[in-house]
Protein backbone atom coordinates (compact mmCIF):
# COMPACT_ATOMS: atom_id res chain seq x y z
CA UNK A 1 0.00 0.00 0.00
CA UNK A 2 2.79 2.33 0.97
CA UNK A 3 4.70 1.47 -2.21
CA UNK A 4 1.61 2.07 -4.26
CA UNK A 5 1.20 5.47 -2.66
CA UNK A 6 4.82 6.35 -3.35
CA UNK A 7 4.46 5.31 -6.98
CA UNK A 8 1.35 7.40 -7.21
CA UNK A 9 3.23 10.35 -5.82
CA UNK A 10 6.06 9.92 -8.27
CA UNK A 11 3.78 9.62 -11.26
CA UNK A 12 1.85 12.62 -10.03
CA UNK A 13 5.06 14.57 -9.80
CA UNK A 14 6.01 13.62 -13.34
CA UNK A 15 2.57 14.54 -14.63
CA UNK A 16 2.71 17.84 -12.85
CA UNK A 17 6.19 18.66 -14.08
CA UNK A 18 5.29 18.70 -17.72
CA UNK A 19 2.67 21.21 -18.68
CA UNK A 20 2.10 19.59 -22.05
CA UNK A 21 1.60 16.21 -20.50
CA UNK A 22 -0.60 17.64 -17.78
CA UNK A 23 -2.82 19.23 -20.40
CA UNK A 24 -3.11 16.02 -22.34
CA UNK A 25 -3.90 13.89 -19.36
CA UNK A 26 -6.09 16.39 -17.53
CA UNK A 27 -8.71 13.84 -16.67
CA UNK A 28 -6.26 11.31 -15.35
CA UNK A 29 -4.66 14.02 -13.24
CA UNK A 30 -8.09 14.88 -11.93
CA UNK A 31 -8.76 11.21 -11.29
CA UNK A 32 -5.51 10.84 -9.47
CA UNK A 33 -6.59 13.52 -6.99
CA UNK A 34 -10.01 12.03 -6.30
CA UNK A 35 -10.62 11.58 -2.60
CA UNK A 36 -7.79 13.90 -1.69
CA UNK A 37 -9.73 16.45 0.27
CA UNK A 38 -7.57 17.21 3.30
CA UNK A 39 -4.51 19.38 3.57
CA UNK A 40 -2.59 16.58 5.25
CA UNK A 41 -3.08 14.47 2.14
CA UNK A 42 -1.83 17.26 -0.11
CA UNK A 43 1.32 17.61 1.95
CA UNK A 44 2.06 13.90 1.81
CA UNK A 45 2.90 14.14 -1.87
CA UNK A 46 3.62 17.82 -2.44
CA UNK A 47 6.06 18.28 0.41
CA UNK A 48 5.76 20.24 3.61
CA UNK A 49 4.08 23.60 3.88
CA UNK A 50 7.49 25.20 4.31
CA UNK A 51 8.78 23.47 1.16
CA UNK A 52 5.83 24.80 -0.78
CA UNK A 53 6.47 28.27 0.63
CA UNK A 54 10.06 28.02 -0.63
CA UNK A 55 8.83 26.94 -4.08
CA UNK A 56 6.81 30.13 -4.42
CA UNK A 57 9.37 32.37 -2.72
CA UNK A 58 9.90 34.38 -5.91
CA UNK A 59 6.49 35.97 -5.28
CA UNK A 60 8.16 37.96 -2.51
CA UNK A 61 5.74 39.61 -0.13
CA UNK A 62 2.90 38.24 -2.25
CA UNK A 63 3.92 34.67 -1.51
CA UNK A 64 0.58 33.19 -0.41
CA UNK A 65 2.39 30.38 1.42
CA UNK A 66 4.41 32.75 3.55
CA UNK A 67 2.44 35.94 4.03
CA UNK A 68 2.87 38.66 6.60
CA UNK A 69 -0.36 37.42 8.19
CA UNK A 70 1.19 34.11 9.19
CA UNK A 71 0.77 30.45 8.36
CA UNK A 72 0.30 27.54 8.37
CA UNK A 73 -2.50 28.08 5.88
CA UNK A 74 -4.64 25.06 5.11
CA UNK A 75 -4.23 24.10 1.41
CA UNK A 76 -7.96 23.59 0.92
CA UNK A 77 -8.71 27.27 1.46
CA UNK A 78 -7.47 28.01 -2.06
CA UNK A 79 -6.87 24.64 -3.69
CA UNK A 80 -9.40 21.98 -4.46
CA UNK A 81 -7.50 18.83 -5.30
CA UNK A 82 -5.34 19.70 -8.33
CA UNK A 83 -7.12 22.96 -9.06
CA UNK A 84 -6.58 26.45 -7.73
CA UNK A 85 -10.13 27.53 -6.93
CA UNK A 86 -9.59 30.88 -5.20
CA UNK A 87 -6.94 33.38 -4.37
CA UNK A 88 -7.84 34.59 -0.89
CA UNK A 89 -5.16 37.33 -1.07
CA UNK A 90 -7.06 39.00 -3.88
CA UNK A 91 -10.15 39.25 -1.68
CA UNK A 92 -8.55 42.20 0.11
CA UNK A 93 -5.51 43.13 -1.98
CA UNK A 94 -4.92 43.84 -5.61
CA UNK A 95 -2.89 40.69 -6.16
CA UNK A 96 -0.05 41.77 -8.40
CA UNK A 97 3.10 39.99 -7.35
CA UNK A 98 4.91 41.12 -10.50
CA UNK A 99 4.39 44.78 -9.78
CA UNK A 100 4.82 44.94 -6.05
CA UNK A 101 7.62 42.68 -4.98
Partner 1 sequence: MSKFKTDISRRDFLKNAGTAGIAVGAASVFGTAVAGESKHLEDKSVYEKAFGDDVQQIYVKKGKSQGPKGPIGFEDRKIAKNEITKEYNCDIAVVGGGMSGLIAALKGAEDGAKVVLIEKMTEGRGAFECFGAVDSRTQREAGIKTDKAVLLGEMHRSANYRIGPDVVRTYVEKSGEASDFMEQMFEKAGTGVVIAPMPLRPKYPNTGAPVIDAECMFYNTPGLPKDVRFRSGHVGLYIIQDLTKIAKKHPNITAKYSTPAAQLVIDSSGRVTGVIAKEDGKYVKINAKKGVILATGGYDANPEMMKAYLRPEDYSSASWWNPCWGTTGDGHMMGLKVGAAMDPVPHAVMNFTFGSPESFHIPAVRTLRAMGLYAMVNDDGERFVREDTAFQFISNATNRQASFGKQSWLLFDDTMISKNKETFDKAIAAFKVLKEKGWLFEANSPSELEKLMKMPKGNLVNTVKKFNAFKKDGKDQDFNRDMEFAKAFDGNKIYALVCNSVILATVSGLIIDEHGRVLNTKGEVIKGLYAAGNASGDFFSGNYPRHIPGTSMGRAITFGYLSAKHAITGV
Ordered DSSP codes for 38-67: SHHHHHHHH--HHHHHHHTGGGGGG-TTS-
Cβ-based nearer residue to partner 1, 19 or 70: 70
Binding site for partner 1 (CB under 8 A): 35, 37-41, 43-44, 47-51, 66-74, 76-77, 88, 90-92
Q: Looking at beta carbons only, is 58 or 74 nearer to partner 1?
A: 74
78 neighbors 56 (Cβ within 8 angstroms): no
Least CB distance from residue 19 to partner 1, whole Å? 26
**Closer CB to partner 1, residue 44 or residue 56?**
44
Helix 39-46 and helix 2-17, axial crossing angle in degrees, nearest 10? 70
Amino acid sequence: MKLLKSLLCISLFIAGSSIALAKQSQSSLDQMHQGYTQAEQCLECHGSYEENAAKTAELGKWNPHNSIHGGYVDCTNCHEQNKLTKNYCSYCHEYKPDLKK
